[in-house]
Amino acid sequence: MAATPFKSSGCRALVVCAVLYAGSAMALPAEHEIRRLMLATEQALAAENWDDASEYLGRLQQLDGERPVDFYFYRGRVMQKSELLNEAQASFEVYVTRAGKEGQYYKQSLERITEIEKLRKDRALAAVTNNPATPLQPRIATIEAAEGQSAADLKNCIWQTARSRRY
C-alpha cells in the first residue's frame, strides 16, 4: 500500500504555507505592490480589522518606493488605536505637512492630533492623582514676595537667577 503524500495535517499546513510564501516571492513591482497594500489597508480599516491593517502597513514600510500620503493617515489611525500616541501623532503630523489643506484627511488628522494631546493630559493627571476619573483641572500657583520685599524686588531676583543659569 502506497503512502499518501501530505496525509498529516501538519504536512498539509506546511505545504500551504510554502505555496503562499512562494506566491509572495513572485511579487508585483514596488509601485503596484504599494498600491495593492494601500487598498488592502483601506479595506481592513473600513472593517475595523486593526491587526490586518497593521500588518499591511508594516509590509508597506519595508518596501522601497514612494508611499502615498494617505499611508501616514492610516498609520496614525492604527497607532492611535494601539495607544502608541507618539507614533500616531507623528504620523498625523507628517500627513498634514505633506497633504496640506487639500488632503482628504486633513481635518480628521488635525482633530486626531488634538484628541491625542487631550488624552496625554488626562493620562498625566490620572498618573499624578492616581484617579483616572478625575477631570483635568488647571493648576495655578501664586508667588508672592516675602515680608518686607516688594514685587519688583522679587521680579529682579527671578531675573538675576535666570540670567546666572544660562547655558
Comparing 131 with 7, the larger pLDDT belongs to 131
Confidence (pTM): 0.63
CATH number at 102 reads 1.25.40
Residue 15 DSSP symbol: H
With respect to residue 4, please indicate whether it lies within any of the assigned structural domains. Answer: no
Q: Tell me the residue range of the domain where 101 lies.
A: 15-164
Residue 19: per-residue pLDDT: 46
Q: What is the pLDDT of residues 132-160, one digit of tens each?
A: 555 555 555 556 666 777 767 766 666 66
CA 55 to chain centroid? 14
With respect to residue 10, please indicate whether it lies within any of the assigned structural domains. Answer: no
Cβ-proximal residues to 54 (8 Å cutoff; 6+ apart), any chain: 78, 82
Q: What is the number of alpha carbons within 13 Å of residue 9 lying toward its C-beta?
A: 0
With respect to residue 1, please indicate whether it lies within any of the assigned structural domains. Answer: no
pLDDT at 125 over 70: yes
C-alpha distances in Å from residue 134, one per residue of 44, 131, 146: 35, 6, 34
**How many Å is the maximal CA-CA distance in the chain?**
108
**CB distance 74 to 95 below 8 Å:** no
Q: What is the pLDDT of residues 11-42, one digit of tens each?
A: 455 544 454 554 454 578 989 999 999 999 99
Residue 87: per-residue pLDDT: 96
The pLDDT > 70 percentage for the chain reads 65
Residue 128: per-residue pLDDT: 80
Place of cell 537667577: 161
The x, y and z cell numbers of residue 78, run together, are 492604527
With respect to residue 7, please indicate whether it lies within any of the assigned structural domains. Answer: no
Domain count, the chain: 1
Residue 129: per-residue pLDDT: 78
The x, y and z cell numbers of residue 132, run together, are 483616572
pLDDT at 124 over 80: yes
With respect to residue 36, please indicate whether it lies within any of the assigned structural domains. Answer: yes
Alpha-carbon distance of 137 to 139, in angstroms, equals: 6
With respect to residue 130, please indicate whether it lies within any of the assigned structural domains. Answer: yes
With respect to residue 146, please indicate whether it lies within any of the assigned structural domains. Answer: yes
